[in-house]
A and B are shown apart, each in its own frame.
Chain A
Amino acid sequence: MQISVDHARCEGHGLCADQAPEVFSLDDDAELTYHFDGADVPDEHRSAARVAVNVCPVAALRVLP
């Protein structure tokens, strides 16, 4: 499973990092880091990552087909 992040759309709400802290994190200025850019999300974090994608209030995250 891979995830695409639309950084232009991200407003730094940070709900993804609350749901999946191993996958997403935000710094003090709410800039988002996605820890598996260009790689597969490890199996153990997949379910949390899916929840994170779906909870993004600005639809900046997508699970790639």
Chain B
Amino acid sequence: MTPRSVLIVGESLAGTTAARELRALGHTGPVTIIGAEPHGAYSRPPLSKAVLRDPGADDALFQDLDGLDIHIVRSAATAADTSRRTVTTTDGREFRYDALIIATGAEARRLAAPGRRGELVLRTLDDARLLRSRLETAASAIVVGAGFLGMEVAGACAARGVPVTVVDVHRPLERILGGYLSAALTARAEAYGISCVQTFGFAVPTGDPVRGVMLPGGTELTADLVVTCAGETPCTDWLAGTGLAGQLGVGIDETCATAVPGVFAAGDVTHLRADDIGPDRRAPFWSNAVAQGKVAAASALGLAPTGTPYDDYFWTEVAGLALKVVGPLPLTGEPTTVEGSVENGRALLTWKRPDGPSTVVAYGMRKPIKALRALAEAGEHSASR
């Protein structure tokens, strides 16, 4: 049955992608987006890159849904009742739906004790603006977390001339990109002015306002800024009592359906439920939010989705070097160099797998995703022969 009205909660990339897709699929009934973000929809990837360097970057972030006849409500959802099919907002209004798409995203995880001031994070436009202004006067910075976000933030600090130390139990990016790229990128980061410290336990923010971190051995590092880049927590408080959300967020299947009929979910708020590929798992990447927004829209209309709810593309920037990755992760072992050289900061690399698609990395090299995908698939075909 085709639903009459679709309600999307979350003016996120997944939410706005779903809204556009609903119209693209020919849905002419009411579409409402409830969004808590006061700035409306905007693109997040530049927040940890261009936006930290250049205030002029802000204007280009905003997304519009002009001409699509989408009703936008700027208020936070506070409760959902899936038997009555309603969602309530902070301002006391109640919205009925035939199909619901949950796209409330996630918020930055904080490490400082509740109530402590001064711990910076990077998730929203306001977070990025605050960090950018603090970088104008800061003489030093500590970044907790050497994942993609942490290394991007550290790169922005270094580019702004602020000495920065990154602290993590893992080597920079090693958990996902493996030892080979971690070593190359760490050397690059150190040369760029980023000091990388590997600890044997978790760093704990100290001071109020936070002005440092205590390392497991009892050493305290201090700096003007402490930025925590330690992952995210799905925004599911408003779903309390619905049984839709657990610690990993809202569980979805291949069609972005949740455990409740008529309720779908997409983006950073979700986890993929255990299937024959793996256990319950979160994959809060930009490209997945796009893929899931589309799949959720099709499913909400009762159509068979044409794509999968996950994509295998992402990109990052480490110490001024752009990295694009297509294919399965994590990476292990050494790659084959197809073109260029890692030493020279410009290379095309492949990690071949005996039993599936290759992973292709453009290391400081401009390549369209399409070209990388073609290379990854070529690896798959040669492997299957």
Contact = CB atoms under 8 A, between A and B. Distances in A.
Given A11-B322, A54-B63, A59-B61, A28 B371 contact: yes
A9 B64 CA distance: 20
Contacts of B63: 54
Interface stretch (B28-36, B194-202, B361-369): B361-369
Interface string A28-65: 11110000000000000000001100111111111100
B370 A18 contact: yes
B179 interface: no
A27 to B, nearest CB: 9
A31 to B, nearest CB: 7
A28 B366 CA distance: 9
B192 interface: no
Contact of A60 (B60, B66, B370): B60
Majority SS of interface residues in chain A?
A: loop
A56 B366 CA distance: 15
A14 B60 CA distance: 18
A59 B50 contact: yes
B315 interface: yes
Size category of the A interface is 20 to 34
A12 B323 CA distance: 12
A20 interface: no
B56 to A, nearest CB: 10
A47 to B, nearest CB: 8
Nearest to B287: A57
A49 to B, nearest CB: 12
Contact of A13 (B49, B50, B368): B368
A63 B45 CA distance: 19
A6 B322 CA distance: 17
Interface in B62-81: 63-64, 66-67
Given A57-B43, A58-B45, A14 B57 contact: no
A9 B20 contact: no
Given A31-B366, A57-B286, A13 B324 contact: yes
A15 B326 CA distance: 14
B366 A30 contact: yes
A13 B61 contact: no
A38 B58 CA distance: 23
A58 B50 contact: yes
A18 B374 CA distance: 14
B178 interface: no
A55 B315 CA distance: 14
Contacts of A51: 20, 24
A15 B59 CA distance: 20
Contact of A30 (B20, B67, B368): B368
Nearest to A63: B64
B368 A14 contact: yes
B368 A12 contact: yes
B368 A17 contact: yes
A25 B269 CA distance: 33
A31 B66 CA distance: 29
Contacts of B367: 12, 29-30
Contacts of B60: 6, 9, 59-62
Contact of B315 (A17, A28, A56, A57): A57
Contacts of A9: 46, 50, 57, 60
B370 A14 contact: yes
Given A59-B43, A59-B46, A14 B369 contact: yes
7 contacts: A28-B371, A30-B366, A30-B368, A51-B24, A55-B290, A57-B286, A58-B49
| 9 smallest beta-carbon distances between A and B, as pairs | A14-B368, A30-B366, A59-B60, A12-B366, A59-B43, A30-B368, A26-B368, A59-B46, A57-B45
Interface of A: 6, 9, 11-15, 17-18, 26, 28-31, 50-51, 54-63
Given A14-B369, A31-B366, A59-B61, 10 more contacts: A6-B60, A9-B57, A12-B366, A13-B368, A30-B366, A30-B368, A51-B20, A54-B16, A57-B43, A60-B60
